[in-house]
C-alpha cells in the first residue's frame, strides 16, 4: 500500500485541509504493508465502517460541514454583552452583596459561553481557513478566558481520539489518584489493594473536589504550559486578560474585592463546566483501549442530553455529544440535522444511541461514581 493512501476515520474527522496535513506526515511513516498483508484490523466491524464512510460522504455532499458565520458572530456578540453587563451591574448598582453576586453570575455565563466558542474554534468548525480558526481561537481562549489555546488543543485532541480509554484520554486521568472510574478499572484497583482516596464516598466529595481541581489545574497548569513552551503570543494575550480584568473591576471592588470576585466566578464556571462535561462521558463505558472502529469507540464513550433551546445554549450544543464526537469539525448548528442519520445507523447495527434529560444526566454522574466506588470497596475488602 502506498504511503497514506488509506484514510483512517480519525484522520478524516480531525482535519479540514487534509492535503496540507499530508505535507507534514512523511516523517511519521514507519513502513508499508506488503500486498498480501490485511489492511483491516479484526476487532473492527467492516460493514459498520463501510456504512459510516457512506454517512460521512452524505454529510459532505449535503453541506452539513459548512458554517453559518452569522450564527457564530451572534454567539461572540452575546459573550461580549454578558461580559460588559457584568461590569455594568457593579458600576450602576454598586458593590453590595446582591449586585456583586449578579455580576459574578453574568461573568460566569460569559466565561462558560466563551469556553464553548473556543471549543468550536479549536475544532476548526468556525472558519473555512485553518489559520483563521487558530488565530481567533488564541484570542478567545487566551484573552477572553486567560487559558492556553495550545494546551487545550493538545489535550482535547487526545480525548477525542480515544475517549474514556485509560492512559490515553487525559480527561479520565483523575483515575486512580482522585476517583475510581469505570466498572472494570474500579474492580482492578480494588483487587490490587490500592486506596488513594475513600472511593466509596467519591459520589459525595465529587461536588467539591472536581470543580476545585478543574479551576486550579486549568488556570495554573495552563500558565505553566505557556511559559514552559515559550508561547509568547499566548502569554501576551493571557496577560492582557488579567490586565483588562484589573483595570475594569479594581476601581469598583478594590484589590481584595477583585480577588474574591475572580475566585468566585472561576469556581462557579468550573462547577458548571464539570457537570456539563461529565454528563456525557463519566457514566459511560470506561476501560483500556480495545482498538475498536471509530464509530463504536465514540458511541460506547458518549451520550447525548435531550434537545431543547435551553439545553442547546447551556451546553454549547454539546448535548449532541455523539454527533460532535463522530464529526468534530462539524459546526454545532448542524448537529440536530445529522442526529437522525446517526440514530438510523445505530439502529441498523444494534448499537445503543443514548440520550437523557438534562437533570437525569447530572444524576447519572453521581450514580456511576457511587456504583464504581462500591465495586472498588467490594473488591478491596473481599478480593
Q: Which residues contact 76 (CB under 8 A, 6 or more apart)?
A: 117, 140
Residues 110-120: b if buried by 16+ CB within 10 A, e if exposed: bbbbbbbbbbb
Give which of 42, 24, 121, 33 is closest to 75, Cα–Cα: 121
Neighbours of 257 (CB within 10 A): 15
| Predicted local distance difference test score (pLDDT) of residue 140 | 97
Q: Are 358 and 306 in contact (CB under 8 A)?
A: yes
| Predicted local distance difference test score (pLDDT) of residue 215 | 85
Q: pLDDT under 50 in the chain at which residues? A: 1-6
Phi–psi pair at 89, nearest 5 degrees: -60, -45
* Cross-strand bridge partners of residue 355: 304
Residue 68 φ/ψ region, left for φ over 0, alpha for ψ in the -120 to 50 degree band, beta for the rest:
beta
What is the domain partition of the chain in residue ranges?
Answer: 1-31, 69-171+197-272
| Residues 370, 300, 179, 269, CA torsion sign | negative
**The three three-digit cell numbers of residue 49, written as one number:** 465502517
| Predicted local distance difference test score (pLDDT) of residue 318 | 96
Chain-centroid distance, C-alpha 201:
26
> DSSP assignment, residue 175?
T
Dihedral angle at the C-alpha atoms of 216, 273, 303, 316, nearest 10 degrees? Answer: -140
Residue whose grid cell is 461529565 = 278
User: Quick one: 71 exposed, middle or buried, by C-beta within 10 A (0-12, 13-18, 19+)?
Assistant: middle
| Predicted local distance difference test score (pLDDT) of residue 46 | 86
Phi–psi pair at 197, nearest 5 degrees: -145, 160
Q: Which residues contact 201 (CB under 8 A, 6 or more apart)?
A: 373
| Predicted local distance difference test score (pLDDT) of residue 197 | 96
User: Quick one: 298 exposed, middle or buried, by C-beta within 10 A (0-12, 13-18, 19+)?
Assistant: buried
| Predicted local distance difference test score (pLDDT) of residue 4 | 37
Amino acid at each position: 500500500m502506498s504511503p497514506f493512501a488509506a484514510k483512517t476515520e480519525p484522520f478524516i474527522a480531525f482535519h479540514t485541509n487534509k492535503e496540507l496535513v499530508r505535507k507534514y506526515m512523511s516523517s511519521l511513516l514507519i513502513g508499508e504493508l506488503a500486498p498480501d498483508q490485511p489492511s483491516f484490523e479484526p476487532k473492527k466491524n467492516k460493514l459498520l465502517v463501510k456504512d459510516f464512510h457512506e454517512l460521512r460522504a452524505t454529510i459532505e455532499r449535503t453541506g452539513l460541514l459548512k458554517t453559518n458565520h452569522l450564527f457564530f458572530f451572534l454567539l461572540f456578540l452575546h459573550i461580549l454583552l454578558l461580559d460588559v453587563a457584568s461590569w455594568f451591574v457593579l458600576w450602576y448598582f454598586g458593590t453590595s452583596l446582591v449586585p456583586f453576586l449578579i455580576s459574578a453570575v453574568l461573568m460566569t455565563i460569559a466565561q462558560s459561553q466563551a469556553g464553548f466558542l473556543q471549543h468550536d474554534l479549536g475544532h476548526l468548525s468556525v472558519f473555512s481557513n485553518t489559520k483563521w480558526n487558530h488565530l481567533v481561537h488564541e484570542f478567545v481562549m487566551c484573552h477572553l478566558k486567560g487559558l492556553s489555546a495550545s494546551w487545550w488543543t493538545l489535550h482535547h485532541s487526545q480525548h477525542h481520539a480515544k475517549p474514556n480509554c485509560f492512559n490515553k484520554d487525559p480527561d479520565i486521568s483523575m483515575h486512580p489518584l482522585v476517583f475510581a472510574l469505570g466498572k472494570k478499572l474500579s474492580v482492578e484497583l480494588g483487587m490490587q489493594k490500592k486506596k488513594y482516596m475513600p472511593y466509596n464516598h467519591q459520589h459525595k466529595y465529587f461536588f467539591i473536589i472536581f470543580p476545585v481541581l478543574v479551576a486550579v489545574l486549568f488556570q495554573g497548569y495552563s500558565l505553566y504550559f505557556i511559559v514552559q513552551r515559550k508561547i509568547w503570543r499566548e502569554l501576551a494575550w493571557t496577560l492582557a486578560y488579567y490586565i483588562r480584568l484589573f483595570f475594569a473591576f479594581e476601581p469598583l471592588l478594590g484589590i481584595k474585592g477583585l480577588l474574591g470576585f475572580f475566585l468566585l466566578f472561576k469556581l462557579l464556571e468550573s462547577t458548571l463546566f464539570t457537570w456539563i462535561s461529565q454528563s456525557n462521558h463519566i457514566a459511560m463505558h470506561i476501560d483500556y483501549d480495545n482498538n475498536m472502529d471509530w464509530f463504536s469507540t465514540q458511541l460506547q464513550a458518549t451520550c447525548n442530553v435531550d434537545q431543547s433551546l435551553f439545553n442547546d445554549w447551556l451546553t454549547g450544543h454539546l448535548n449532541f455529544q455523539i454527533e460532535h464526537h463522530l464529526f468534530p469539525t462539524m459546526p454545532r448548528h448542524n448537529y440536530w440535522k445529522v442526529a437522525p442519520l446517526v440514530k438510523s445507523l445505530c439502529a441498523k447495527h444494534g448499537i445503543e444511541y443514548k440520550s437523557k434529560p438534562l437533570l437525569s444526566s447530572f444524576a447519572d454522574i453521581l450514580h456511576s461514581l457511587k456504583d464504581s466506588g462500591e465495586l472498588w470497596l467490594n473488591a478491596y475488602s473481599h478480593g
